[in-house]
Structures are given as structure tokens and as C-alpha cells.
Structure 1
Amino acid sequence: MRELVWTGFMSVDGVVYSPGGRVEGHRSGGWVMHTPFVPEAFSLKGEELAETSALMFGRRSYEAFAPFWRDSEDHAAYKDLHKYVVSTSLDDTALVDGWGPTQILRFTDDVAALRDGDGGAVFIHGSADLARRLADADLIDRYNLLVFPVILGAGKSIFSHADRDQHRLALRESDAYSNGVTKLVYDVVR
């Protein structure tokens, strides 16, 4: 079985929307850039590369990341990894050329089948709506969170606000950095 890992930046109040800039849609977008840069606070992102066998995105995150990451030196290691885009509306003609093998998955059941197959960890970047759907379907295995010292009050979260059965988490790793960022790595307890 493959492990599905959601990884990303989060505010203290759980917002994951628009960390990189306002162009993503949140009026306070770019909140990651307002935190002083401390290299060790971002070391988790480099560590993840050793584990990543594939990437997964929702449609909107794929459309935002793929054109930029394809040509980014910082993301060159992602180029040849297999990518999965979960979307009911995207078609093959919308896939970004030159960014390695990419497959469209249509339904949560397709993600479950991928997870039940052979291979290494699949890392989900961004994709808050997808993360919520997969968590509600009990398909997320781990959360790699970098929590930033900001409260945004509103915006997309990867966690559902609906009344539901609890999901227990076990802390695998944590650290705190001089810029206020906290690393929290949680395994989902089943």
C-alpha cells in the first residue's frame, strides 16, 4: 500500500489558502513571505523529496503549480516524478507539456485504488478541497505541516468543519524555529 501525505503551509488557525501571494485569491495572500526566512524552517520540504515517488494535485493547484514548477530550478527534482491530478473537468489537452508523466484521476475511488497499489509515498501539495475529500474518505495517511505564526480568520482549510467521527493523529516529529514557524508531522491513527 502507498502512503498518501498532505504537505503544506498553514496558518495557526488552519488556513492553507494563498500562502505564496494574492494572485491565489486570499486578500492576505503571501503570508509565508511575511515571515523571516530561516533555512532550517523549510528543511522539511527538502527531506520530503527523498520519500516522494509521485505528486498529487487537485485541478486548481495543478493549474497554479505545474507551469511554474516545470521551469523552476527549485523544483527540478519533481520534473520526472509521476503526477496525478484529481479532477472531473480537466482533460488531457490541459496537461502541462514537459513536466513528466501525468495522469488524471476522476474520483475518490480512483485515489483509493492508487493508494492500495504498490509504490512509494504520494505527496499532495496545496489542493485544500481535495485534501478534505480524501481525509473524509479516510485516505490521508500523514500530514506534514509547517505552521506559520499568523492568524488569517478566513480561507480554505484542509480540515472539514462538519460534524464527523474523530480522526486520531500520532505525532511523528516536531520542531520550532526562531521565526515562529512550527513543523508538525502527524500520522493518522487507524
Structure 2
Amino acid sequence: MRSIIVTEFISLDGVIDSPGGGTHARAGWTFTEVPFVAEAYEIKGREQTEAGAMLMGRVSYVDFAPVWPTMAEFAEYNAMPKYVVSTTLVEEPEWNNTSIIRSLDDVAALRQGDGGPIIVHGSATLAQGLAAADLVDRYHLLVFPLLLGSGKRLFADAESSGRLALVEHEAYSNGVIKAVYDVVR
């Protein structure tokens, strides 16, 4: 069985909205409000080389598809199978090796296959749905020393429950903290 890993840039108050750009009032907060320290992003490179597939929601797909294929630093992601979970996306994906799946049942079936971990970037609604369906195995969080106050959150207040086990952590000079948690079942 393949594991599903949700990876997020997250503020101290749980917001994951628009970390690199987007519609949030403070969009790009990971780059504009916290000094860049290269070693804090080591986990991002590791994720790309270890993942066997990428899973995203429609909004993240629409944001990533025009940009990521042109970026050399995402070569592994561009080559690997990518799955968009959407009931509304009707056109065929233009991003290389991308398929549309329609439900969390389809995600559960994908998880039963062979291959490396399935990595989930962004996609707050999808991440919450995966967690509610007990499909998340691990969280990779880069916690930024910011309070954003509002925006999409990783854990929906009423639906969040469960226990996590810290399996890796590190603090960096810019105040970012890497926290890797396994879901305890």
C-alpha cells in the first residue's frame, strides 16, 4: 500500500492559504515575510525524489500547471504521475502525465497500488477530505513564525481529530520549524 503524505507551508496559526502567491491578502508570505534559509527547504527536495506520484485538488492544479512544468527544479514532479481530484474539471489536463480522478474512493484505490508515496501539495479542501476519510499517513509541515489570522487552514475546526506522532523535527535560524508527523491509527 502506498502512503499519502500531505506537505504544507503553514503559519503558526494553521493557515496554508497562498504561501507562494494567490488571493490571500498576504499572498507569498513564505518568501516576503520570513528570510530565506536554504536548509529549511531540504525536505522539499527530498519529497520530490522520494514521491511516486503527486495528488492535488483542482485549485492547486490550476495554480501549479502553468508554472511548475517550466521550472527545472521541479523536474521529478513534472515527470511523475499526477492526479487531480475534481468533480468539476472537464478538460483534459495539459500538464504531462496528469489524470483526473473524481472521488476520495478513487484516491483510496490509487493508494492500494504499487509505487512510492503519494505527495499532496497545497489543496486545503482535499487535505481536509483525505484526513476525514482517514487516508493521510503523514504530514510534512514547515511552520512559519507568522500569524496570518485568516485564510484556508489545514485542519478544519469541527472535523479535526486524531493523534499524531512526531518523527522528525528541526528548527532553523529564520524561525521556521520542520515538523514531520505520522498519523497514529
TM-score between both structures, scaled by the size of structure 1 = 0.93
Give the SS at the match of 2:83: strand
Residue 10 of structure 1: aligned partner = 10
| Aligned pairs for 1:88-107 within 5 A | 88-93=87-92, 95-96=93-94, 99-107=95-103
The one-letter amino acid paired with 1:107 is S
Offset, 1:163: 5.2
Equivalences for residues 15-34 of structure 1 within 5 A:
15-21=15-21, 24-33=22-31, 34=33
Q: Which moved more, 1:1-10 or 1:72-81?
A: 72-81
Is residue 92–residue 104 contact of structure 1 (8 Å, CA) maintained in 2?
A: no
Q: Which residue of 2 aligns with 1:172?
A: 167
| Structure 1 counterpart of 2:135 | 139
Whole-angstrom CA distance in 2 between matches of 1:163 and 1:109? 19
In the aligned structure 1, how far is the partner of 2:46 from the partner of 2:73? 14
Contact 2:132 2:159 in 1 (8 A): no
The answer to whether the 8 Å contact 1:57/1:124 transfers is yes
* Distance (whole Å) between structure 2 residues aligned to residue 114 and residue 84 of structure 1: 9
Structure 1 distance, partners of 2:12, 2:84, is 28
- Distance in 2, matches of 1:107 and 1:69, equals 24
Identity of aligned residues (%): 54
Q: Where does residue 63 of structure 1 map in the other structure?
A: 62
Per-residue CA distance 1:24-71 (angstroms, 9 max, x = gap): 111011110121111101111011122111001100000100110011
What's the offset of the Cα at 1:157? 0.9
Q: Tell me how far 1:134 sits from its aligned partner.
A: 0.6
- Number of paired residues? 184
What is the CA RMSD across the aligned residues, in angstroms? 1.1
User: Once the 2 structures are TM-superposed, how far is the Cα of residue 100 of structure 1 from its aligned partner?
Assistant: 2.2
Which residue of structure 1 aligns with residue 118 of structure 2? Answer: 122
1:110 maps onto 2:80 in alignment:
no
Any unmatched runs of 5+ in structure 1?
none
Unpaired segments of 5 or more residues in structure 2?
Answer: none
The correspondence for 2:179, drawn from 174, 178, 184, is: 184
- Tell me the amino acid that sits aligned with residue 42 of structure 2: S
Q: 2-side partners of 1:120 and 1:147: how far apart?
A: 25
Consecutive aligned runs of 4 or more in structure 1 exceeding 4 Å deviation: none
